[in-house]
C-alpha cells in the first residue's frame, strides 16, 4: 500500500470514527505502528488532523475530507458513470461542471473524448472550434482541462474552498449569470425523493442551483451510496433534473420513484 493510499484510508477512518488509535490503525491497514505514527505526524503537519497521545482526532467539530482524499471511494463506479455521461453530451456543447470527485471524472472523460474525437452530434464547419466549452467553478477541473486545446475552459471567479477546490460567492454568481449552458452536470451529496438533490455546504448548493438554472438540460451524477441520503443544503427539486446517471447498485424502488418524477435514469 502506497503512502497516498494509507493517508486516504486513515482520513476515511478518522472521518467515520472521529478518533484513531495507532495500534488499531496499524492492524486495520496491516502496517507497523511506526509507519502509522509517521503518517499521523505528517498529516498533522498539513493540518489534516490533530495528533494526540497514542493516535489522532479529527481537525475540528465538523470534519470534511478534502477532495483528493475522497477520490478513492467508489472509484470504478465513478469512472463508469463519467464515461456514460460523456456520451450524453453533444459535440460543441457548453457544459457546466460543479466540483466533486464524480464531476472531475466527467471532465476527464470529456477530455478523452475530445482528444480522440468521434461520436459527436453537432456538425461544425470551423475546424478550430472547440469540441466542448466547459464552464466550471472547480479549480482542479480547470487545471486539468486548461492544457487541452480541444476544450475551451471558462473559470468562474470566487473564493476557493480548500476542501473541494470549488469557487463560491458573489464573484462566482456574477460570471454564471452571464452565461448560457447547454447542459449542467452536477455532483451531489444526497438524493431524496421528497427534497431533491442536496450537498453539505450552503454556499456550494447555491452555486450548483445557479448552474441548473442556467442550463437547458441538467444531469445529476452520483454513485448509489448517495441515493436516499439527505444533506444539509438543498440544491433543487427533482423536477429540475432531466437525467440521473448512477451505478447498477441503485435500489429498484428508488429507480421507480425517480422515473415517476420524470427523470431518465441511467445505470452503469
Tens digit of pLDDT for each residue in 181-208? Answer: 999 999 999 999 999 999 999 999 999 9
CA 82 to chain centre: 11
Tens digit of pLDDT for each residue in 79-133? Answer: 899 999 999 999 999 999 999 989 999 999 999 888 765 444 444 446 578 999 9
Please provide residue 165's backbone torsions phi and psi, each rounded to the nearest 5 degrees.
65, 15
Spatial contact of 151 and 131, defined as CB atoms under 8 Å apart: yes
Three-point CA angle 60, 200, 194, nearest 5°? 145
Predicted local distance difference test score (pLDDT) of residue 247: 95
Spatial contact of 199 and 210, defined as CB atoms under 8 Å apart: no
Is the pLDDT at 60 greater than 60? The verdict is no
Give the global pTM. Answer: 0.74
- Report the 3 state secondary structure along the chain: CCHHHHHHHHHHHHHHHCEEEHHHHHHHHCCCHHHHHHHHHHHHHCCCEEEECCEEEECCCCCCCCHHHHCCCCHHHHHHHHHHHHHCCCCCCEEEECCCHHHHHHHHHHHHHHHHCCCCCCCCCCCCCCCEEEEECEHHHHHHHCCCCCEEEEECCCEEECCCCEEECHHHHHHHCCCCEEEEEEECCEEECCCEEEECCHHHHHHHHHHHHCEEEEEEECCHHHECCCCCEEEECHHHCCEEEECCCCCHHHHHHHHHCCCEEEEC
Of 181, 154, 92, give the one whose Cα is nearest residue 129. 92
Tens digit of pLDDT for each residue in 245-256? Answer: 999 999 999 999
Spatial contact of 65 and 163, defined as CB atoms under 8 Å apart: yes
User: Which residue carries 496499524 as its cell?
Assistant: 26
Amino acid at each position: 500500500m502506497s503512502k497516498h493510499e494509507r493517508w486516504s484510508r486513515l482520513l476515511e477512518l478518522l472521518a467515520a470514527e472521529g478518533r484513531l488509535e495507532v495500534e488499531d490503525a496499524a492492524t486495520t491497514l496491516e502496517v507497523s505502528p511506526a509507519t502509522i505514527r509517521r503518517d499521523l505526524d505528517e498529516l498533522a503537519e498539513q493540518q489534516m488532523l490533530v495528533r494526540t497521545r497514542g493516535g489522532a482526532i479529527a481537525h475540528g467539530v465538523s470534519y470534511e475530507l478534502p477532495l483528493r482524499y475522497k477520490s478513492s471511494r467508489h472509484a470504478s463506479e465513478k469512472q463508469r458513470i463519467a464515461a456514460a455521461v460523456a456520451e450524453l453530451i453533444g459535440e460543441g456543447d457548453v457544459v457546466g461542471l460543479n466540483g466533486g470527485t464524480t464531476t472531475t471524472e466527467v471532465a476527464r472523460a470529456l477530455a478523452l473524448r475530445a482528444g480522440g474525437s468521434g461520436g459527436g452530434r453537432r456538425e461544425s464547419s470551423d475546424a478550430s472550434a472547440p469540441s466542448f466549452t466547459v464552464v466550471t467553478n472547480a479549480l482542479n477541473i480547470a487545471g486539468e482541462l486548461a492544457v487541452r486545446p480541444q476544450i475551451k475552459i471558462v473559470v468562474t471567479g470566487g473564493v476557493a474552498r480548500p476542501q473541494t477546490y470549488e469557487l463560491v460567492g458573489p464573484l462566482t454568481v456574477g460570471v454564471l449569470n452571464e452565461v448560457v449552458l447547454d447542459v449542467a452536470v452536477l455532483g451531489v451529496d444526497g438524493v431524496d425523493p421528497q427534497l431533491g438533490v442536496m450537498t453539505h455546504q450552503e454556499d456550494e448548493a447555491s452555486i450548483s442551483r445557479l448552474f441548473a438554472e442556467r442550463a437547458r438540460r441538467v444531469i445529476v451524477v452520483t454513485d448509489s451510496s448517495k441515493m436516499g441520503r439527505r444533506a444539509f443544503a438543498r440544491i433543487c427539486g427533482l423536477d429540475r433534473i432531466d437525467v440521473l446517471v448512477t451505478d447498477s447498485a441503485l435500489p429498484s424502488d428508488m429507480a421507480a420513484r425517480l422515473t415517476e418524477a420524470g427523470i431518465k435514469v441511467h445505470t452503469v
